[in-house]
Amino acid sequence: VYGVVGMDVTLASIRDYIKLFDVGYQGQIIVLDSKGVIIAAQEQSLLFQNMDTAEVGFDMDILQGNEGLGQSEFMGQEMNVYYDSSHDLGWQVIALIPTTQVNKAAELYEKRVLYMVGLCVCFLSAVTLMGLEIFLLQPLGRLKQAAESISKTADLGIRIKINSSDEIGVLAESFNRMLASLHTSEFELRKHRDTLEEVVRERTGELKKLTVAATHSPVAVMITNKEGTIEYVNPRFTEVTGYSQN
């Protein structure tokens, strides 16, 4: 009996504590035990009901992992669900927010964003038109000409000369750095290719020497793979054992 009284006091404290939280958008917080029973809620009528009963109608399958979010019906209303779990107690704290309220807030935010974007576009269009010919079209024309020249000649030594500190100038500088980096990479690749070809020639020569040495060796030589299959025998091995790969 004393244990039950102690538990009631603890749960009452938890219920009083979560009442202090306001998740907004007409949402609420509930606490489940490890069996899915509501042990604390901002609505007293929900206490000690099982979340997956027909009356509550909550989809327990969405509570996967230690934390996450999802959507489920709750008391006949579609809810956005945000949950977190306690490793020690096995309890889960769930915040439920009506999906309709979330959608309204999202729509309002979207309208505000679109309104701000519209204002920004109008402002930027006006500013761009004022200096379009001098500060944009001509530098972009030089950028285009340089890009076409590179695509036709593959000359990575081309550089763009734009004496400007604005965005176009920064773009041209970045373009020049990219070309310089590509030019260096091309040089390194060529150098590596030449080195690799030299290494291949050396290894091929060594392999030929080894093959000639094994062929004319007075010692019987047999080479197998990892599975023990014979891949090579020299003439001396054939003389000694009578085995021939042919």
- On the question of pLDDT at 200 being above 80, the answer is yes
**pLDDT mean over 125-150:** 75
Strands, DSSP E only, in the chain?
Answer: 28-32, 38-41, 67-74, 77-85, 92-98, 222-224, 230-233
pLDDT at position 114:
92
Token representation of residue 44: 């007293």
**Residue 63: how many CB atoms within 10 A of its CB?**
20
Q: Are 165 and 173 in contact (CB under 8 A)?
A: no
Kindly report the average pLDDT of the chain as a whole number.
79
Q: Are strands 230-233 and 222-224 parallel, antiparallel or unpaired?
A: antiparallel
pLDDT at position 5:
46
- With vertex at residue 24, the alpha carbon angle to CA 19 and CA 27, rounded to the nearest 5 degrees, is 70
Q: Are strands 230-233 and 92-98 parallel, antiparallel or unpaired?
A: unpaired
What whole-number distance in Å separates Cα of residue 216 and Cα of residue 143? 66
pLDDT at position 1:
42
- On the question of pLDDT at 116 being above 90, the answer is yes
- On the question of pLDDT at 115 being above 90, the answer is yes
Residue that wins the pLDDT comparison between 205 and 137: 205
Q: Are strands 28-32 and 77-85 parallel, antiparallel or unpaired?
A: unpaired
CA distances for 9 relative to 3, 32, 214, angstroms? 10, 17, 90
pTM: 0.39
- On the question of pLDDT at 2 being above 50, the answer is no
